[in-house]
Chains A and B, each alone.
Chain A
Amino acid sequence: MTEGGRDGRSRRRFLAAAGAASATALAGCNGILNDGGGDGTGAPAAATFDDFRGSGANIGGRGEITGTRVADLPDLSGQLNIYLGGGEGGLYTDLLSLFGQVYPDFEPNVRLEPSTQLASKIREEQSAGGSFADVFWAVDAGSLAAVASEGYTRALPDDVVEVVPDQFRPDNAWTGVAGRARAVPYNTDQLSASEVPDTVREFPDTAALRDSMGWAPTYGSFQAFVTAMRLLRGDEATRQWVTDMQDAGAAGYANEFLISNAVADGELAAGFANHYYALRVKAQRPDAPIDLAFTSGDAGALINVSGAEVLEGTERVDLAENFIAHLLTAEAQEFFATRTFAYPMVPGVPPVGGLPRVDELSPPDIDLRQLDDVGGTIDLLRETGAL
């Protein structure tokens, strides 16, 4: 892991090292004293580490956080046009406000739309010969890949992204900044962790799960999971699995937050959902009998990412790259982990809720770029009647 940034900086970095050591201890004071943001000199003053950290039931007992700190990097300054994918991405505007407190001269110009729509839009803009955004920050890998595959991105410098595991930054065309793992939320009154099968393949034949499983076939993340299964096991086996799950009485839900709630209520014994929904349920109801299990090595263990890329034609390359470097700082990673319950992309920052670290999961060996074949998945789900 690199300490510090890409260019040699002198005084600030030194101060920063001292600041980092005492950040946690002094955080409360600084937060109060400097609330409302900078003093106009451009010095990092207002937001402390704790401002980036969330609070609540899941957050207690954070271990040591290591990694590049905001203060280690050059200042963000000037206007940056960011196309930001909606959904969970909407929460990221808070992170931008925090950066705004650190850097009063930083003016992120943010445009929120669905990730897939922004990807299509960038492709139209670029094919018409224009570039209106400097950075594309999407909530799924497929959208990032759809832009990169047309050659509309600039490769990210190694020293910016080398902290991120290779599979989450293919060819450095883009980099993941926060991950979401497929998981199996289960009701702890009805099941023990050992009763949840280790592979998705075993689910239809598990007696304890019969007529008490939930899934959300219309939901994008579930469809990405099925796409991954098609990539790993082929269409025929996937179709059979979907059919078997239907025979086993899997119940359809509109989204995975509802599934996680139904699990907590005991309406379902278990379900298929992104990991953070169970954490959201826990945040609202700390005593809910819900926990997460992970399958291993198959589609059920897929980790999808939200990530960022620098777009071709930008006139602000340095600022754009520096911005992405900021998304990978300990502060930003702590924000993703504790406020959006995402998986940090940097090994120095653990996920919340006692979850395994990103390098302790066993995700399947899949090129995330191939997750853009949603169409075939929807066809398959339709043919089986799941959709």
Chain B
Amino acid sequence: MSTREGLSALRRRLRREADGDGLGLTLLSGAIAAAVLSPVAWLFLRVTDVPTAEAVSLLTAPSTTRVLTNSVLLVTTVTVACVLLGVPLAMLTARTDLPFRRFFTVVLALPLVVPSYIGAFAFVSAFGPRGALADLLAPLGVGRLPEIYGLGGTTLVLTLYVYPYVFLTTRAALLSLDAAHVEAARTLGKSRLAAFREVTLPRIVPGVAAGALLVALYALSDFGTPAIMGTDVFTSYIYVAYNGFAADQAALLSLQLLGVTTVILALESRVGQDDASAYASGGSRSAARIELGPWRWVAALCCLAVAAVSLALPVGVLLLWLFRGGPGYAAGGFPFDLSFAVNSVGVSAAAALVSVLLAVPVGYLAARRASWPARLAERATYVGYAMPGVVLGLALVFFGVKFAPTVYQTLPLLVFAYVVRFLPQAVGTTSSSVLQVDAHLMEAARALGESPRSAFRRVTLPLIWPGVLAGAALVFLTTMKELPATLLLRPTGFETLVSYIWQVQEAGYYGLAAIPALTLIAVSAGSMAVILAQERG
């Protein structure tokens, strides 16, 4: 057998094996997608309770169309604003000599952990018509502040608390980027800006798109912020139905919401995966940092300003509550316990771990193979993320009781709920970093005698590690603050920071909410620092 014949035989064998692996992986991906899609079946089950005529009139009512329009508008404005804010911040922390980079990386990711009811309340109490700022400016003759309520205010507040999605996914993409390409472009006489536009930008587009998708779906499914900021959106409609004990109508409207989700997913597919090969880069040599010169201090000030409004403001309001909130009732009954923090970290870490384990096969397969089952499985994981939390929670109550009463209201079902809600955050970051890894590297490793598994572990995994970690961080942070599913599915007697904050706020003890909320932010900051420290590892 000649060398040529030997080589082509080897290639055929590798391809065959790869196809075999592909089948196994595809089946695994499909199973994961089916599991996280299962709550949707509940929607269909409940929807059959709605008479057709009523369903049609509900879905086509002018008010339904109006809130749907509002939701689409909000999704668009928030997504654009988050990209405009998140990408530059990611560039600054990942690719420049910005002072206090690690500090800023953690701090700029943290707004994600501030629950919207605290963040939005902070804004209203600071900038609202009867807020602290109005009080401050009133003696100076400033009678009226710009309107904080409405679409503009909602966009502003949502953007400040969800831009970290774009920030973290873009950062992961930038860290996986091979510097050699940029250097080559610079050597060829391209200006820095041109090099960014022609080399860096196309390569980080999948990362940016992954973050933008998470932002868009979050904006679509969030209830708290629009409710507090006075914008009528689709989720508030669903909540009204839900609070009026019309689970069937809530299910119907949720299906319509999932319709919008499908459109967004399809749109993102086109951006995220135009031409996968274009993003394949050859290595992982980290790039030289861009030197900003004196501008680095200006950049630091900008980062500080973002952190101030998105993080320092709510913390300030919490401190205000802490010192001002006196006892309203003679009754007490809400002792705070540090174990709540331990519980929060425990379930969040479990959710992050499971999500990452599931996201790697789904994300890897979707990025490596253009086959429709692979893409479909990946897209399907996003559906749970766009379901309003209570609707998803109720679906799991029903299925839990029906098919798995032994795990109902136990930790495994709670963690499963988190995974259904937040898995796409890990899938998105993973697949966008896989897209950046040159597929030929795997083949080379295989040709050199590595088994598929070990080739993945030794070659691919280290290259996609920043993306996997970013995914874990996202899942962790969002699980820390998740409320509706936590309340519905936690084991009885199992309290987390968020369930405790909810209890005391509901009872009117705003002062008592301050300590756990500050603990939430502090613990999340610490965990983020630990996760992000692995980036270099």
Which A residues are within 8 Å of any B CB, using their own CB?
54-56, 59, 81, 86-91, 93-94, 97, 109-114, 116-117, 119-121, 123-125, 127-130, 132, 142, 146, 218, 254, 257, 280, 283-284, 338-341, 372-375, 378-379, 382, 387
Q: Of B207-215, B472-480, B485-493, which stretch is located at the interface? A: B485-493
Known: A132-B409, A257-B328, A378-B240. 20 other contacts (CB 8 A): A54-B329, A56-B330, A86-B506, A86-B507, A89-B507, A90-B333, A90-B507, A93-B333, A97-B333, A116-B242, A124-B394, A128-B398, A129-B402, A130-B401, A146-B245, A373-B244, A374-B240, A375-B244, A379-B63, A382-B63
Query: Is B329 a contact partner of A91 (Cβ separation < 8 A)?
Result: yes
Q: Which chain B residues in 312-333 approach chain A with CB under 8 Å? A: 326-333
Q: In the complex, which residues of chain B have a beta carbon less than 8 angstroms from the beta carbon of A254?
A: 124
B154 to chain A, nearest CB (A): 15
Q: In the complex, which residues of chain B have a beta carbon less than 8 angstroms from the beta carbon of A280?
A: 328-329, 508
Q: Which chain B residues in 407-455 approach chain A with CB under 8 Å? A: 408-409
Interface centre among B398, B401, B488 (most CB of A within 10 A): B401
From known contacts A130-B408, A374-B243, A379-B63, infer whether A109 and B492 are also in contact, taking CB-CB under 8 Å: yes
Whole-angstrom CA separation of A128 from B502 in the bound complex:
28
Which one of A87, A114, A123, A339 lies within 8 Å of B331 (CB-CB)? Answer: A339
B519 to chain A, nearest CB (A): 19
Whole-angstrom CA separation of A284 from B504 in the bound complex:
18
Which one of B247, B409, B502 lies within 8 Å of A124 (CB-CB)? Answer: B247
From known contacts A87-B507, A91-B331, infer whether A124 and B390 are also in contact, taking CB-CB under 8 Å: no
Q: In the complex, which residues of chain B have a beta carbon less than 8 angstroms from the beta carbon of A124?
A: 247, 394, 397-398, 401
A282 to chain B, nearest CB (A): 10
B327 to chain A, nearest CB (A): 7
Is the CB of B99 closer than 8 A to any CB of chain A? no
Query: Is B488 a contact partner of A90 (Cβ separation < 8 A)?
Result: no
Which one of A91, A121, A146, A373 lies within 8 Å of B394 (CB-CB)? Answer: A121
From known contacts A120-B242, A129-B402, A254-B124, infer whether A218 and B227 are also in contact, taking CB-CB under 8 Å: yes
Q: In the complex, which residues of chain B have a beta carbon less than 8 angstroms from the beta carbon of A338?
A: 330
Q: In the complex, which residues of chain A have a beta carbon less than 8 angstroms from the beta carbon of B487?
A: 113-114, 117
Query: Is B397 a contact partner of A94 (Cβ separation < 8 A)?
Result: no
A1 to chain B, nearest CB (A): 26
B470 to chain A, nearest CB (A): 33
Query: Is A372 a contact partner of B245 (Cβ separation < 8 A)?
Result: yes
From known contacts A90-B503, A123-B245, A128-B401, infer whether A113 and B488 are also in contact, taking CB-CB under 8 Å: yes
Query: Is B504 a contact partner of A90 (Cβ separation < 8 A)?
Result: yes
Q: For B45, give the chain A residue with the smallest CB separation.
A: A127
Q: Which chain B residues in 295-351 approach chain A with CB under 8 Å? A: 326-334
Whole-angstrom CA separation of A382 from B398 in the bound complex:
32
Whole-angstrom CA separation of A378 from B239 in the bound complex:
11
Q: For A87, give the chain B residue with the smallest CB separation.
A: B506
Which B residues are within 8 Å of any A CB, using their own CB?
63, 124, 227, 232, 240-247, 326-334, 390, 394, 397-399, 401-402, 405, 408-409, 484, 487-488, 492-493, 499, 502-504, 506-508
From known contacts A87-B506, A109-B493, A117-B488, infer whether A94 and B332 are also in contact, taking CB-CB under 8 Å: yes
Query: Is B329 a contact partner of A283 (Cβ separation < 8 A)?
Result: yes
Whole-angstrom CA separation of A86 from B334 in the bound complex:
12
Query: Is A81 a contact partner of B492 (Cβ separation < 8 A)?
Result: yes
Q: For B484, give the chain A residue with the smallest CB separation.
A: A117
B484 to chain A, nearest CB (A): 8
From known contacts A86-B502, A86-B506, A124-B398, infer whether A283 and B247 are also in contact, taking CB-CB under 8 Å: no
Q: In the complex, which residues of chain A have a beta carbon less than 8 angstroms from the beta carbon of B244?
A: 372-375
Q: In the complex, which residues of chain B have a beta carbon less than 8 angstroms from the beta carbon of A56?
A: 330
Whole-angstrom CA separation of A68 from B242 in the bound complex:
39
Q: For B495, give the chain A residue with the smallest CB separation.
A: A112
Q: In the complex, which residues of chain B have a beta carbon less than 8 angstroms from the beta carbon of A94?
A: 331-333
Q: In the complex, which residues of chain A have a beta carbon less than 8 angstroms from the beta carbon of B329?
A: 54, 91, 280, 283, 339-341
Which one of B242, B401, B503 lies within 8 Å of A125 (CB-CB)? Answer: B401
Q: In the complex, which residues of chain A have a beta carbon less than 8 angstroms from the beta carbon of B399?
A: 128
From known contacts A120-B245, A121-B397, infer whether A91 and B507 are also in contact, taking CB-CB under 8 Å: yes
Whole-angstrom CA separation of A387 from B492 in the bound complex:
35
Whole-angstrom CA separation of A65 from B334 in the bound complex:
28
A82 to chain B, nearest CB (A): 9
Query: Is B330 a contact partner of A55 (Cβ separation < 8 A)?
Result: yes
Query: Is B508 a contact partner of A86 (Cβ separation < 8 A)?
Result: no
Whole-angstrom CA separation of A219 from B174 in the bound complex:
46
Query: Is B508 a contact partner of A54 (Cβ separation < 8 A)?
Result: no
Which one of B240, B409, B484 lies within 8 Å of A375 (CB-CB)? Answer: B240
Query: Is A119 a contact partner of B508 (Cβ separation < 8 A)?
Result: no
Whole-angstrom CA separation of A93 from B504 in the bound complex:
12
Q: In the complex, which residues of chain B have a beta carbon less than 8 angstroms from the beta carbon of A123?
A: 245, 247
Q: Which 5 A-B pairs have the closest CB atoms?
A: A54-B330, A128-B401, A375-B244, A94-B333, A130-B401
A48 to chain B, nearest CB (A): 16
Whole-angstrom CA separation of A121 from B489 in the bound complex:
10
Can you report 14 residue pairs joining A to B where beta carbons are below 8 Å apart?
A54-B329, A56-B330, A90-B503, A90-B507, A111-B492, A120-B390, A128-B397, A130-B408, A142-B245, A283-B328, A338-B330, A374-B240, A375-B244, A387-B232
Q: For A338, give the chain B residue with the smallest CB separation.
A: B330
Q: In the complex, which residues of chain B have a beta carbon less than 8 angstroms from the beta carbon of A90?
A: 333-334, 503-504, 506-507
Q: In the complex, which residues of chain A have a beta carbon less than 8 angstroms from the beta carbon of B390?
A: 117, 120
Whole-angstrom CA separation of A313 from B227 in the bound complex:
37
Q: In the complex, which residues of chain B have a beta carbon less than 8 angstroms from the beta carbon of A54?
A: 329-331
Q: For A255, give the chain B residue with the smallest CB separation.
A: B508
Q: In the complex, which residues of chain A have a beta carbon less than 8 angstroms from the beta carbon of B499?
A: 112
B396 to chain A, nearest CB (A): 9
Q: In the complex, which residues of chain B have a beta carbon less than 8 angstroms from the beta carbon of A86?
A: 502-503, 506-507
A214 to chain B, nearest CB (A): 11
Q: In the complex, which residues of chain A have a beta carbon less than 8 angstroms from the beta carbon of B402?
A: 128-130
